[in-house]
């Protein structure tokens, strides 16, 4: 099999043409230019090396790709995850799954409940997450949700879930009362 990088046009020409000095010179020149092109193409494969890019290049790539939920203050692992998901999020923007992926990517875990799942007015939704609430998180959360949700949909509220472990005690009392019924 002929390797594309090292292929020459003389390999596919008839011998009568392939042996001409002009054709051999042209074939060699085309091979060298093809090799240079293949070497340049190796350097432009950005998507294949996102996990190896330095943070400053990730920031520039996020700007170039217009990554929807990107924030330069996020940890580098989150930045990589957001850059990788940019094209996919553009393809299904405005859907509940896009909101759910956003919440999971930026804040950890989260799930979206639409209005028909919990008995609300049409086009409302709630988000349940376990994010630690700070004023910065709340403002960032509102900004990001507005970008990703459907235009007609409205956020009803955010439920913060916490796991609390501890002992629980309860007691009870039953009182018995008799009534006499007279006819």
* Number of domains the chain is built from: 2
Q: Which residue has the tokens 């009803």?
A: 156
Assess if residue 23 is contained within a domain.
Answer: yes
- Judge if 19 and 90 occupy the same domain: no
- Judge if 86 and 154 occupy the same domain: yes
- Judge if 106 and 35 occupy the same domain: no
Task: Name the pLDDT band for 3 (thresholds 50, 70, 90).
Answer: confident
Of 118, 183, 106, nearest in space to 145 by CA: 106
Structural domain of 22? 9-43
Assess if residue 172 is contained within a domain.
Answer: no
Assess if residue 89 is contained within a domain.
Answer: yes
Q: What is the pLDDT of residues 51-82, one digit of tens each?
A: 888 999 899 999 998 887 788 888 899 899 88
Task: Name the pLDDT band for 35 (thresholds 50, 70, 90).
Answer: very high
Please tell me the distance from the alpha carbon of residue 116 to that of residue 124, in angstroms, as a whole number: 9
- Judge if 73 and 37 occupy the same domain: no
- Judge if 122 and 37 occupy the same domain: no
- Judge if 130 and 62 occupy the same domain: yes
Assess if residue 3 is contained within a domain.
Answer: no
Q: What is the pTM of this model?
A: 0.47
Is residue 24 predicted with pLDDT exceeding 80? yes
- Judge if 35 and 104 occupy the same domain: no
- Judge if 72 and 31 occupy the same domain: no
- Judge if 70 and 115 occupy the same domain: yes
Assess if residue 68 is contained within a domain.
Answer: yes
Burial class of 111 by CB neighbour count within 10 A (0 to 12, 13 to 18, 19+): middle
- Judge if 38 and 15 occupy the same domain: yes
């Amino acid at each position: 099999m002929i390797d594309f990088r090292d292929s020459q046009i003389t390999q596919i020409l008839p011998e009568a043409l392939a042996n001409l000095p002009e054709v051999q010179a042209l074939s060699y020149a085309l091979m060298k230019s093809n090799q240079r092109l293949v070497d340049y193409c190796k350097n432009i494969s950005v998507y294949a090396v996102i996990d190896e890019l330095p943070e400053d290049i990730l920031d520039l790539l996020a700007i170039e790709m217009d990554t929807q939920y990107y924030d330069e203050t996020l940890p580098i692992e989150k930045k990589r995850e957001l850059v990788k998901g940019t094209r996919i999020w553009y393809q299904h923007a405005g859907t509940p799954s896009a909101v759910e992926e956003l919440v999971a990517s930026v804040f950890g875990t989260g799930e979206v409940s639409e209005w028909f799942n919990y008995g609300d007015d049409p086009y409302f939704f709630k988000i349940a997450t376990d994010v630690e609430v700070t004023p910065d998180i709340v403002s960032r959360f509102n900004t990001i949700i507005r970008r990703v949700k459907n235009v007609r949909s409205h956020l009803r509220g955010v439920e913060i879930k916490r796991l609390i472990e501890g002992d629980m005690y309860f007691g009870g009392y039953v009182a018995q009362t008799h009534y006499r019924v007279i006819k």
